[in-house]
Structures are given as structure tokens and as C-alpha cells.
Amino acid sequence: MKQLFLKREAGIFILLAVLCTVVAILNPHFLKPQNLQNEGRLIGMFGIFSIGAGIVIITGGIDLSTGSLMALLGVQLAIILVEKHWPWPVAILTVLITAGLLGLAQGVLITRLKLQPFIVTLCGLLIYRGTAQTIAHDETKGLGVNTGFELLQKLTTGEVCGVPNQFILLVIIAIIMWVVLHRSVYGRYLFAIGQNEAATRYSGIGTRGIIVSAYVLSGLFGAISGILFAFYSVSISPASHAQFYELYGIAAAVLGGCSLAGGEGSIIGIVLGTALLQVLQNLVILLNIPSSLNFAVMGGVILIGVIADQLLKKK
Amino acid sequence: MPAPLLELRGVTKRFPGVLALSEVSLEVYPGEIVALIGENGAGKSTLLKTLGGVHQPDEGSIQIDGKPVTIRDVNDAMAFGIGFIHQELNVLDNVDVAGNIYLGREPVMGGPLRLINRKKIHADAARYMKRLGITSVPTTARVGDLPIAYQQMVEIAKALSMDTRILLMDEPTSSLTLSETETLLKITQDLRAEGVSIVYISHRLSEVMQIADRVVALRDGKNAGGLSREQITHDNMVKLMVGRDIAFRTPAATKPGETVLEVKDLRTQRYPGQNVSFTLKRGEIVGFAGLVGAGRSEVAQTIFGVDRPAGGQIIMNGARLPAGSPAAAIEAGIYLIPEDRRKTGLVTSMTIRENITLPALGRYSSAGLLNFGKEVSESERLSRELRVKAHTVEQRVKNLSGGNQQKVVLAKWMALEPKLLIFDEPTRGIDVGAKAEIYDLMRKLAENGVAVMMISSDMEEVLGESQRVVVMHEGSISGFLDRPECSEEAVMRLAVGHHQAAAT
């Protein structure tokens, strides 16, 4: 199993490297510090919630609600920071708790009422988006006015020695989650549940609690990414903010080797998958491909990746 | 003697790294039942699959009616009149009986919509079901709602509807109850009387003695000899299969100790109206006999906590066990080796090591982080102790044979200290050699003071291993039999519902 992952990760890494080289040759602008820095920011922000998406997928579930969740949390953050003037640590904590509770609610519905994850999180997607639009009165909320949260803004959008903070945060989270997923008891349980929940339960493991925790983690990582996105884009229009992002997360996880059937995947794969998707987007812009083709290019590459994997597996 | 209907000569089949069949020969004459016996991995299933068109032989020839043929795929096999009933049923649960029998060959009405001719399909299906002696099941019943035995009948009916002359059956009785097995065996004899030849694999030697006209044994992919009707005895078959004698087993005579488990008025979800009460003592092996569906597995699952009880108490070593918690049961030293290894016993796509350590990861970790070295050394020790046949503990469990898989399930629990081990059908689908090893282990555990609860539908196993037998019927206990009163007949009487007072 391990070897298969390594192969998969090596494959996607090579693909990423080839893609970067090609783009760099076709348009040297790719390697300019400003472009790389922006890539780093995007990979950081997309990577964090993609890890959450991957963890849920490893348990055999799926979380479709993340994009809407980030819109809801962005609106919430803007309101409590800018309009209500809460101290920023309290505001951040509030956003995290909200996300955790919503993840908990989804997890409980899935494990206790035995509802399908797809349905539960699809309802989440609709409900969170609608709620975001309602509490914002469908108006765009801004985080540009600085009163009392300059430090937070600096933390979420700044850089250290030229490396964007979003990217640094992703690296830290990825290292922690790598240990958790691939070296801890909890991680082993996640994989075991994804492979065969019944047999795991028959081994005396509280599988429900662990599944719930995966949705809570997905919510929390969504919240972290959501906060970063909110400050990155400065203004949040509730109807379109972070729309379809859950699909980016799922795509990154699947590209990185997570099986939608559960029980397979790795942190390195998810991060590489995220990077690949972001470089692709960058490629569309740098190579002057009409941006309307953006989604089609992405879909095409994911499809090719999955087909290649399937063919290699058969061998 | 008439000419053989089917003749195999020198058939060899190689898989990567394995010689599955080596110059195997087999003849099948019209209207006879040939039992194919051998240990797991002897090549029985491969041989049947070669005949059924699933595998192609690398060398050798197949003749049907004296003419050499090539069976390229399953459709070819069907065209030659070869039907195949696989070990795992291949029915569609959500489709009715008639639809399953005629899947892909539905009679249609005229017209562009190709609507199914419902009248014809049901009439035809009913005819084949009737030929099998089944008139109680309407052909409009959803197959998923039928008991396993009837689902299998649907498969046999399907084979018959394709003018099958040779019926191949791979362990057809392994998931049937005793009475269902009787029905199936009777059907095979009816089919023989109609001129259909049957080649079938079974690990249950008493069945073979009952119906087979001839026995062909395989060992390590080679012909290991055959037996004619009058030579078929238990001992002869075992000798051919393993190449040595194995004595018929009698239960160990260990003295049971104090009470470990007390079950008081337990009611399961499946039979909430029935109370079950019994006790198990240290060092005894208690067989739980009964027909499949008698509620034995439900009792086991409720004790182990994967099912919630509908009522009653489970007292382990004097303390009441919290309901519905496998973690609490494990904490108390109760472990379950479930009936379906692949579904509930093992995470088959994980390695031997990962499976063995799964229930006790706390022992192989500190501060939540796993200690791989300790995992490897412990799982290696346990798989050596239980003689799991594998190159390394990093091998995935799904690539092991049934017997080895069962040993991994056992190893999982041996790492902890069992006080009560519940075996649910411990040797289903396991070959003779591995069976003996599992029985020896069971006895060793009992000698060391473990209470063993053994649910089994295999009469030989119940009589050969249990010091005491509890018989269940439709959710309640119909009788307790102590060693001297145990006999096949006594167990069967209770299993079919004669309660003890009436039986004695």
C-alpha cells in the first residue's frame, strides 16, 4: 500500500514539475517572484481546506459544504470585526467554533441518523450559502477598514523572507497532519474505517466518533482557509465568495491519490494535488488561454490523471 | 461403461509465481455426481473455473462428447452445456426470481420498445423452479428477500434454463442450514436422475459420502487419486486430501472451572420476544448448534456489544456489562471471531500487521503516535505462533487463504488476554489441515482457562469439539446437552424445534 502511494505521489510530482517547466519556458513571467509569491498564497489557502476534504474522503465520506461554509464564515468574520468591533482573537475563535459546530452537526447527522454524507453536506452547501446571503442582506462585506485588527491582517496576508504566510501555515498544518494521518493511532483508525467500517467497529473502536471528528476537522480547516481567503480578497460577496471551492478540495484530494471509496490517500498527495491545480490555473492566465476555458482545462487534466492512474493500476 | 461426456487431459494452469494445476486429468460421465475434494489451495476452484470458461488452460486438452473443444469464455461454456454455480452467489438482489433466471435473455414482445413478455417469463421461470421442487416461492418475489438457499436455487434454475448438461458447483452448501443442505442434496440427486452430470466441491465430507458417485482428490494442483462409490469413507477421503491419516476427533476432557459469563433473560433485536439464559465456565468449549437463523449469531453479537440487546443482562466475571459497547466487552476480555471474516473480521486491504494490532493500538503507541518497530515484532511473533503462512507481516490480508485469514483474526485477539472467545462458524470455508490447527488452538485456549463459545452449523465440528452443546431454535434455547447425551440425532431433534422436555 505504501509503495503504491509513493508511486502515485512521485507521478503527480513529476507531472507538476513538467508542467512548471513548460509554463516557465513558454512564459518566463511564471518564475517572477511576484507570480511565485501569489502562487504560494493560493496553494496555501487551497491546500489547507483540501487536507480537510481529503480526511473526510479517507473515511469514505465527502464534504460538499466547504465553499459555502467559507462564504458564511467570511460574512460572519466581516460583521463581527468591522461592524461589531469584537477583539480579533475573540472573532477568530468565534469563527472556528462556528465551523467546528457545523462540522459536528453534519457528522452527527451522518453517523447517528445514518444519512448519506453526500446529501447531508449538499444540504449544508445550500443552507450555509443561503444563510450567508441572508445575514449579509445580500450585500458585499468588506474587511478593508482597519480598526483594531491590523495585526490579524498582517498575519493572514503577510510574508516571512518573501515566503507568504498562507504557504507557511499550509506547511505547518501539512506536517502536523502528516504525523497525525500516517503515524498516529487516530490516523490508522481513519484509514481502517474507510476500508471497512464494520470490521473496525468489531475491533472495539468507536467508529462513529472518529467519523464525526473528520467532519469537524474539515470544518476547522475550512474555517482557517476561510479566514485567509476573507483577508486575501478583502471583500466578500456572499453569493459568489468561494463558490465551487469544495470541488477544488475534492479534486486535489482525488488527484493526490485519495479514493472516493475510502481508505486511501496521503497528505503529500493532497498538497501536490492542490499545487497542480493552482499551477494549471496560473498556466491558463499566463498562456493567454481564454479564462472561460479555465474549468474545462482543469476538468480535462483531472480526468487524464485519473485515467492514467487507473491504467497504471491494472498493470 | 458409456463414453465420457467430458474429458480433461493433462491440464496445466499457471498464475504468476504459482503452478495452480499441473497435468490434471478428469472424466465426467453422463448422469453422475463427481465430488472434487482437496485442501484449500489444492486447485479445485481453478479446475472448475477452467471448465467454466473463467480461466484458459496453459496446456492440456478438453473434450466434450469426444470432440476436442476450446472454452474461451463463460458464454462458450454455456454453449457447451456447462453451468457454473459459484461459491459466492451471483444474483441481483433487487430483481425478481424470473428476471434473474432470464437475465440477458428476457423474452420480449414484438415492437420497437422490446418490452419484456411478463407472462412468458414468469411461466417459464415457474417451470424451472417447479422442476427443482420449489412451488412455495412466487417468481415475482425479489431475490434479495429470499433465504440464501432459495437464492441458490434460482441460480440452479438459471443454469437449467440454459440446457445445462454439466453443472459445476463450488462449495454450494457452505452457507446453507442443515435442512437447506438436505434439500440441495436431494435436488442434485434428482438432476442426476434426469441425466445431468454434476461436479462439485465440498469440504463437508459427510455430504460427499451421502451423494457422490465418485470422488476425485487434488493435492497441490495435481491429481491425488480417486475413490469409487464403495470406497468413499471419511478416512479414505482425508487420507487422499492430506496424504496422511487424521484421527476422528473427540472433545478434550478438561475440567471446567468457575463461571465466567452469565447471560440472564437476554433478548436480541431479531427475536425480542425470546429470552436466552445460559452460563459459560472457565476452560470449557461449548458448542452452539442450531439451524442458520436460529439466533445464535445475534446472541454472540449482543454479548460482544455490536448489537444492542432488547433486554436482559450480561454478567462477566460478576460485573454487569454495559449494553451495546464492543469496547467494554473487549475491556472485559470478551472477543468475537465473526462469521464473515472478510466483512467484519478483517480489514482485508490492510496488512497482517495492521489487522493484528488494530484492536490494541494503545499498546503499540505512546502519546497517540505509533511505534512501528513494536507493531512489527509483536505481529511477527503472533503470526509465527499461529503459523500464519505468509512471507512477511506486510502482506495484505486479502491475498491470504481462508484458513490463514482466520488465523490472523485469532492473532488479533491473542495479543490481548482473552477470557471468553466467541467463535462464529470458526472453520467455514477452511481446509482440513488449517481446520485441525484452529481446533488445536481452541483447545489450548480452553486449557489455559479461556471459556470458548463455538457457534457452528457443521455437525462434525459440534460433536468433535464441544464438551457441552447448547441448541437454539428460532431465537430461544431448545435444549442443553452434556457430553454423554450428545449425538447427531439429539442435536438435530432440538435444532428443528423439539424442546428438551418433549425430546427426552
Give residue A229's pLDDT band: very low, low, confident or very high (50, 70, 90).
very high
Residue with cell 516557465: A24
Whether ipTM > 0.90 holds is no
CB contact under 8 A, A204 and B354: no
Query: B300 and B422 in contact (C-beta within 8 Å)?
Result: yes
Residue with cell 442450531: B290
As a whole number of angstroms, the distance between CA B46 and CA B35 comes to 15
Of B345, B351, B369, the CB nearest to A199: B345
Query: A148 and A82 in contact (C-beta within 8 Å)?
Result: no
Which pLDDT score is estimated for A53?
Answer: 97
Q: In this model, does residue A249 exceed pLDDT 70?
A: yes
Which pLDDT score is estimated for A1?
Answer: 44
- Please report, rounded to a whole number, the percentage of residues in chain A having pLDDT higher than 70: 97
Question: What are the backbone dihedrals phi and psi of residue B251, each rounded to the nearest 5 degrees, phi first?
Answer: -60, 150
Residue A184 is given by DSSP the state B
The residues with which B289 forms a beta bridge, in sequence order, are: B471
As a whole number of angstroms, the distance between CA A293 and CA A291 comes to 5
Query: B26 and B47 in contact (C-beta within 8 Å)?
Result: yes
Alpha helices in A234-293 (DSSP H): 245-255, 267-286
Q: In this model, does residue B178 exceed pLDDT 90?
A: no
* Nearest CA-CA distance, residue B158 and chain A, Å: 32
How many CB pairs lie under 8 A apart between chains A and B? 70
Query: B132 and B100 in contact (C-beta within 8 Å)?
Result: no
CB contact under 8 A, A184 and B351: no
Query: B451 and B172 in contact (C-beta within 8 Å)?
Result: no
Half-sphere exposure of B108 (CA within 13 A, CB side): 9
Helix (H) or strand (E) holding B211: helix B205-211
As a whole number of angstroms, the distance between CA A49 and CA A228 comes to 11
Query: B221 and B42 in contact (C-beta within 8 Å)?
Result: yes
Q: From start to end of B329-435, where are the E strands?
A: 334-337, 365-366, 369-370, 420-424
> Nearest CA to B372 among A215, A242, A2?
A2
pLDDT tens by residue, B30-81: 999 999 988 766 888 899 999 999 999 999 999 999 899 999 988 889 899 9
CB contact under 8 A, A183 and B370: yes
CB contact under 8 A, A1 and B350: yes
Which pLDDT score is estimated for B503?
Answer: 40
As a whole number of angstroms, the distance between CA A133 and CA A158 comes to 29
Sign of dihedral through CA atoms B421, B425, B427, B429?
negative
Residues of A in contact with B338 (CB under 8 A): 202
- Please report, rounded to a whole number, the percentage of residues in chain B having pLDDT higher than 70: 96
Which strand ranges, in their side-by-side order, compose the sheet holding B259-267? Answer: B276-281, B259-267, B311-316, B319-320
B320-347: average pLDDT: 92
Residue in chain B closest to A196 (alpha carbons) equals: B347
Which pLDDT score is estimated for A241?
Answer: 94
pLDDT tens by residue, A298-309: 888 888 877 877
Q: In this structure, how many other beta carbons lie within 10 angstroms of the beta carbon of residue B501?
A: 8
Query: A218 and A68 in contact (C-beta within 8 Å)?
Result: no
User: Residue B311 has which C-alpha cell?
Assistant: 433486554
CB contact under 8 A, B370 and A186: no
- Please report, rounded to a whole number, the percentage of residues in chain A having pLDDT higher than 90: 72
B116-135: average pLDDT: 90
Task: Compute CA distances A107 → A115, A118, A184, B186, whole Å.
Answer: 10, 12, 22, 52
* Nearest CA-CA distance, residue A210 and chain B, Å: 14
Specify the pTM: 0.79
Residues of B in contact with A195 (CB under 8 A): 347-350
Amino acid at B367: A
CB contact under 8 A, A184 and B396: no
* Nearest CA-CA distance, residue B471 and chain A, Å: 25
Q: In this model, does residue B502 exceed pLDDT 50?
A: no
Give residue B244's pLDDT band: very low, low, confident or very high (50, 70, 90).
low
Task: Label residue B260 exposed, middle or buried (CB < 10 Å: 0-12, 13-18, 19+).
Answer: buried
CB contact under 8 A, A188 and B348: no
CB contact under 8 A, B306 and A202: yes
The residues with which B198 forms a beta bridge, in sequence order, are: B33, B167
Q: Give which of B308, B335, B349 to mutate to test A binding, by max A Cβ within 10 Å.
A: B349
- Given the DSSP bridges, would you call strands B476-482 and B468-473 parallel, antiparallel or unpaired? antiparallel
A231-255: average pLDDT: 93
As a whole number of angstroms, the distance between CA B191 and CA B160 comes to 9
**String of DSSP letters for A202-230:** TTT--HHHHHHHHHHHHHHHHHHHHHHHH
As a whole number of angstroms, the distance between CA B492 and CA A133 comes to 70
Collapsed DSSP state (helix, strand, coil) of residue A232: helix
CB contact under 8 A, A204 and B326: yes
CB contact under 8 A, A192 and B358: yes
Q: From start to end of B232-318, where are the E strands?
A: 259-267, 276-281, 285-290, 311-316
Give residue B247's pLDDT band: very low, low, confident or very high (50, 70, 90).
low
* Nearest CA-CA distance, residue A181 and chain B, Å: 10
B190-205: average pLDDT: 89
CB contact under 8 A, A186 and B396: no
Residue in chain A closest to B306 (alpha carbons) equals: A202
User: Residue A49 has which C-alpha cell?
Assistant: 481546506
Q: In this model, does residue B504 exceed pLDDT 50?
A: no
Q: In this model, does residue A2 exceed pLDDT 70?
A: no
Query: B419 and B451 in contact (C-beta within 8 Å)?
Result: yes
Give residue A68's pLDDT band: very low, low, confident or very high (50, 70, 90).
very high
pLDDT tens by residue, A194-217: 999 999 999 999 999 999 999 999
Which pLDDT score is estimated for A42?
Answer: 96
As a whole number of angstroms, the distance between CA A226 and CA A243 comes to 12
As a whole number of angstroms, the distance between CA A184 and CA A181 comes to 6
Q: Give which of A177, A189, A203, A264 to mutate to test B binding, by max B Cβ within 10 Å.
A: A203
B399 touching A (Cβ < 8 Å): no
As a whole number of angstroms, the distance between CA B492 and CA B354 comes to 41
User: Residue A84 has which C-alpha cell?
Assistant: 461589531
B306 touching A (Cβ < 8 Å): yes
Residue with cell 423439539: B498
Residues of A in contact with B369 (CB under 8 A): 179, 183-185
* Nearest CA-CA distance, residue B373 and chain A, Å: 12
Query: B416 and B358 in contact (C-beta within 8 Å)?
Result: no
Of B327, B349, B396, the CB nearest to A263: B349
pLDDT tens by residue, B86-121: 877 888 989 999 999 998 888 888 888 888 999 999
B373 touching A (Cβ < 8 Å): no
